């Protein structure tokens, strides 16, 4: 495990004003496995000092253990513990701000009544004007029913709201897109489709998020067929774009070609199926997908329609067996499934210069440290290892590009173009086994993706 800001606290302590008092506190934090961050002096009292100490931990249990270790230090009183993550979400992470001034009576009459009536009438007479005279040209609805949120599962629309808010923050920060969280209190695909259709006039695009499979496939398909604005299920297509980008660069590192490599995947839900479709569209020829029952193959019983279709378009040799067994001789493993889906022994049986993308979060399909020196390129979904596969590299730029040219859909050609744009950010001089995908904070990514998507859409 690694200490992370995801489990951090600002802890206010009162410390005896004697030499060595803080050193004892710092030692206790270190012995408990915590990482000491910022140290701020709040005030000095007659016999004590009040300090705010920032501590990073591995998980919630570890953070509590660190606090208890601090309480046990003689001469130290823990006054207050503030979870930094909860503080960041206090009151929500979004707000609405006007773009037009509202300081005078004239401002009011132009922005609202009576002046706004002329704009409304103009749009009613020519609906195309809505793209220039309203927020629609830059607005995306982030829609979820809360049934497949992160690794938490079905936690409901209220539980999903902080995640959708976060998604909206990323849209604005990286691509200047105004995104709005829409959390629906229904799991019925018919109701979800009808609701999104009903709100669509206000938006230039729809980002579906954290809707469980296989319902997400039907919902996306029906919305794409019925709406004339882009509909993009990020858990599917965002993941697929970034995986392809990272794989293109990883193959450059190991000197192999996409059309030649043998790829084994685990996870045949929304992300796994989209990754496979995108890889096939980009030129991959040999992919075997595995779920908890092993390989998906033609003739396997008990598969739902989506998995049956998957089996028909993959596994050219119709192989059977577990993912671990199928890794023998494989060049690439891509995991979008669960922790410990494969073993280090399975990775050791892969072809020389193997590539392993173990993206289950927070615990990957195989421990990256257990296969260090075995696989040549390793990527995960975590920020505390090299090569983080993160959808934020894709979706802001994808929607920026689609909105800029008023695309009616986002197709596989646009997705492959986005992936190639992300991959191209890393030059030959920069490329290495530990750097096959750009940082999420690389500000050149979103504009490059937007340009590629716009060009592919035209």
Q: Any idea which residues carry the catalytic annotation?
A: 112, 167
Taking each continuous run of H as one helix and of E as one strand, the counts in the chain are: 17, 14
Judge whether 204 and 139 are in contact, CB under 8 Å. Answer: yes
Cβ neighbours of residue 335 closer than 8 Å, sequence gap 6 or more: 265, 266, 267, 341, 342, 356, 357, 358, 359, 360, 364, 365, 366
Q: 350: which residues sit within 8 A by CB, 6+ positions away?
A: 327, 328, 329, 330, 331, 333, 356, 375
Contact 15, 39 (CB under 8 A): no
**Residue 276 is inside which H or E element, if any?**
helix 270-282
Integer Cα distance of 179 and 207 in angstroms: 9
CB 275 within 8 A of CB 334: yes
Q: Do 239 and 335 form a contact (C-beta atoms < 8 A)?
A: no
Residue 343 backbone phi and psi in degrees, to 5 = -115, 160
89 token code pair: 């979400």
Q: Is 380 helix (H, G, I), strand (E, B) or coil?
A: strand
Cα(50)–Cα(83) distance, integer angstroms: 18
Cα(379)–Cα(387) distance, integer angstroms: 5
């Amino acid at each position: 495990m690694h200490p992370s800001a995801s489990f951090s606290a600002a802890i206010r302590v009162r410390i005896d004003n004697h030499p060595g008092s803080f050193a004892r506190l710092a030692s206790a934090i270190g012995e408990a496995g915590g990482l000491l961050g910022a140290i701020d002096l709040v005030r000095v009292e007659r016999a004590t000092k009040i300090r705010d100490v920032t501590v990073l931990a591995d998980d919630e249990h570890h953070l509590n253990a660190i606090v208890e270790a601090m309480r046990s230090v003689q001469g130290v009183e823990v006054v207050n513990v503030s979870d930094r993550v909860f503080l960041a979400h206090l009151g929500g992470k979004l707000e609405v701000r006007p773009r037009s001034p509202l300081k005078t009576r004239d401002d009011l009459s132009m922005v609202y009544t009576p002046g706004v009536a002329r704009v409304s009438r103009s749009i009613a007479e020519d609906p195309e004007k809505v793209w220039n005279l309203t927020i629609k040209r830059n607005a995306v609805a982030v829609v979820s029913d809360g049934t497949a949120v992160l690794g938490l599962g079905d936690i409901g629309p209220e539980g999903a709201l902080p995640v959708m808010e976060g998604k909206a923050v990323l849209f604005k920060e990286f691509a200047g897109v105004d995104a709005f969280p829409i959390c629906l209190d229904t799991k019925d695909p018919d109701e979800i489709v009808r609701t999104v259709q009903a709100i669509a006039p206000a938006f230039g695009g729809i980002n579906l998020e954290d809707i469980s499979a296989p319902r997400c496939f039907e919902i996306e398909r029906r919305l794409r067929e019925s709406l004339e604005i882009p509909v993009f299920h990020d858990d599917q297509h965002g993941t697929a774009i970034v995986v392809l980008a990272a794989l293109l660069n990883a193959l450059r590192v190991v000197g192999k070609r996409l059309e030649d490599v043998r790829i084994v995947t685990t996870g045949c839900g929304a992300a796994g199926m989209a990754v496979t479709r995108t890889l096939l569209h980009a030129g991959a020829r040999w992919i075997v997908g595995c779920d908890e029952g092993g390989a998906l193959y033609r003739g396997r019983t008990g598969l739902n329609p989506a998995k049956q279709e998957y089996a028909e378009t993959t596994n050219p040799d119709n192989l059977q067996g577990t993912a671990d067994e199928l890794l023998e001789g494989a060049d690439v493993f891509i995991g979008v499934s669960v922790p410990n889906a494969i073993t280090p022994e399975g990775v050791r049986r892969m072809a020389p210069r193997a590539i392993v993308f173990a993206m289950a979060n927070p615990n990957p399909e195989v421990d990256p440290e257990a296969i260090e020196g075995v696989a040549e390129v390793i990527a995960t979904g975590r920020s505390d290892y090299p090569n983080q596969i993160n959808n934020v590299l894709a979706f802001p730029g994808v929607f920026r590009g689609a909105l800029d040219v008023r695309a009616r859909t986002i197709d596989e050609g646009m997705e492959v173009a986005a992936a190639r744009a992300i991959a191209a950010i890393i030059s030959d001089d920069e490329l290495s086994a530990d750097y096959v995908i750009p940082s999420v904070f690389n500000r050149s990514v979103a504009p490059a993706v937007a340009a590629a998507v716009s060009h592919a859409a035209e």
